[in-house]
């Protein structure tokens, strides 16, 4: 894989399972917050699945679109776009009433010093959206950050583990879930709370950050010594297919890969591929932020792209100086300060 176009084509190719699920789904699909890291490829994946299903569904992407070139890119792919600031009530109320909503709008980075906006985006706005789309299905992106740090020997937090978020970002995400749950009870709105960590593609993510550190000879902090990851294309497919699993009260679905991965092991694996010796600082803590997604794997099957495949592709991308997105995950953060 050499170009962004090849990468996005690969991530937006639908599986037969996704196409079959789209055929069972009534109504159009609208993605709120489509302009983030995952949104454009999710929209393209949904549109290609719709086209191959043979059904006349619309896929609509909504965002502020600070970059107008993304509007053109999505519309060339057959996705309708609406430019809107969802925090403006008029913009929100002018959106069409669509049966299927994927809520991706939210804030993570820059929370420190701007906590009020983080809470507005992550907790207040979902309530307004839930009022507007009370007759829709809603798949709402959340995060595994709502869980407490857990023993690396525990196999991660399942959906029945009580949230105990650290820091205002994670607290605001639990706020999002609680507010959506309130409106789900009030209106009997079917909802999925989609607790994701960490999505990966070649341009950003935990694996890219580790690979770049190895390649550039920068030390890797081992304090958060274990992580979960999932290929972005697989996470996007799970999100679309989750529309058939919305429920009242909301269903929680953890989303990540099946492995608990050692950061040290990942660094050594990248080192083999790049012929570099990784450098480390600190040592592994006995706890980490870990997500058990075995329920999602039962619903949707295992991710199609394996960790070894991701490492192969990312190694080639880093060595060839492929384009990256400067949005670090801060996966090492243990105090919730984003």
pLDDT tens per residue across span 125-170 = 999 999 999 999 999 999 999 999 999 999 999 999 999 998 889 9
pLDDT of residue 113: 77
* CB neighbour list of residue 159: distance below 8 Å, 6 or more residues apart: 195, 252, 253, 254, 295
Count of the separate structural domains present in the chain: 1
| Residue 151 within any structural domain of the chain | yes
pLDDT of residue 262: 97
Q: Which domain holds residue 247?
A: 4-201+230-259+289-303
| Residue 269 within any structural domain of the chain | no
Give the C-alpha separation, 274 to 81, whole Å.
41
- Which residues does the chain have with pLDDT short of 50? none
CATH number at residue 189: 3.40.50.720
Eight-state DSSP code of residue 103:
E
pLDDT of residue 109: 60
pLDDT of residue 328: 74
β-pair type (199-200, 230-231): parallel
Q: Which residues make beta-bridge pairs with 310? A: none
pLDDT of residue 110: 59
pLDDT of residue 107: 86
Eight-state DSSP code of residue 258:
S
| Residue 317 within any structural domain of the chain | no
Give the C-alpha separation, 243 to 25, whole Å.
8
Across the chain, which distance is largest between two alpha carbons, in Å?
A: 58
| Residue 279 within any structural domain of the chain | no
| Residue 208 within any structural domain of the chain | no
Q: What angle do CA 227, 33, 59 make, to 5 degrees?
A: 110
Burial (0-12, 13-18, 19+ Cβ within 10 Å), 6: exposed
β-pair type (287-288, 150-151): antiparallel
| Residue 171 within any structural domain of the chain | yes
- Neighbouring CB atoms inside 10 A of 67's CB total 11
Peptide bond into 249 cis (omega under 30): yes
pLDDT of residue 325: 82
| Residue 284 within any structural domain of the chain | no
Burial (0-12, 13-18, 19+ Cβ within 10 Å), 10: middle
| Residue 221 within any structural domain of the chain | no
Give me the phi and psi of 195, to 5 degrees please. Answer: -85, 100
Can you spell out the DSSP letters for 213-256?
A: HHHHT--EE-SS-EE--EEHHHHHHHHHHGGGG-BSSPEEEEES
Closest CA to 29 of 121, 118, 96, 125: 96
Contact 235, 298 (CB under 8 A): no
Q: Report helix angle 232-241 to 16-24, nearest 10.
A: 20
With b meaning 16 or more CB within 10 Å and e meaning fewer, what string describes 252-283? Answer: bbbbbbeebbbbbebbebbbebbebebebeee
Q: What angle do CA 187, 193, 195 make, to 5 degrees?
A: 170
- Evaluated on CA atoms 52, 55, 56, 58, the torsion sign reads negative
């Amino acid at each position: 894989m050499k170009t962004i176009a090849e990468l996005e084509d690969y991530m937006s190719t639908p599986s037969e399972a996704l196409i079959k699920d789209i055929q069972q789904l009534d109504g159009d699909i609208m993605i709120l917050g489509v302009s983030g890291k995952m949104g454009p490829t999710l929209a393209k994946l949904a549109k290609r699945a719709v086209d191959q299903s043979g059904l006349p569904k619309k896929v609509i992407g909504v965002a502020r679109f600070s970059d107008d070139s993304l509007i053109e890119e999505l519309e060339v792919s057959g996705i309708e776009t609406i430019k809107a600031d969802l925090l403006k009530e008029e913009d929100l109320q002018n959106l069409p009433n669509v049966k299927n909503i994927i809520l991706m709008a939210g804030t993570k980075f820059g929370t420190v010093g701007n906590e009020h906006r983080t809470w507005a985006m992550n907790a207040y706005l979902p309530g307004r959206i839930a009022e507007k789309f009370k007759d829709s299905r809603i798949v709402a992106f959340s995060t595994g950050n709502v869980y407490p740090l857990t023993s690396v020997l525990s196999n991660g937090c399942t959906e029945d583990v009580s949230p105990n978020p650290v820091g205002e970002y994670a607290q605001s995400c639990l706020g999002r879930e609680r507010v959506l749950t309130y409106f789900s009870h009030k209106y009997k709105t079917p909802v999925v709370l989609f607790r994701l960590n960490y999505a990966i593609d070649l341009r950003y993510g935990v694996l890219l950050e580790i690979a770049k550190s190895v390649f550039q000879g920068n030390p890797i902090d081992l304090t958060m010594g274990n992580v979960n990851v999932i290929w972005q294309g697989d996470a996007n497919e799970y999100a679309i297919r989750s529309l058939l699993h919305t429920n009242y009260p909301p269903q929680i679905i953890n989303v990540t890969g099946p492995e608990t991965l050692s950061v040290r092991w990942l660094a050594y694996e990248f080192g083999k591929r790049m012929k570099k010796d990784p450098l480390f600082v600190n040592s592994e803590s006995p706890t980490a932020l870990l997500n058990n997604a075995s329920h999602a794997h039962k619903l949707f099957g295992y991710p199609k792209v394996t960790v070894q495949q991701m490492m192969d592709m990312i190694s080639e991308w880093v060595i060839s100086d492929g384009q990256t997105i400067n949005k670090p995950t801060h996966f090492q953060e243990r105090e919730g300060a984003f």
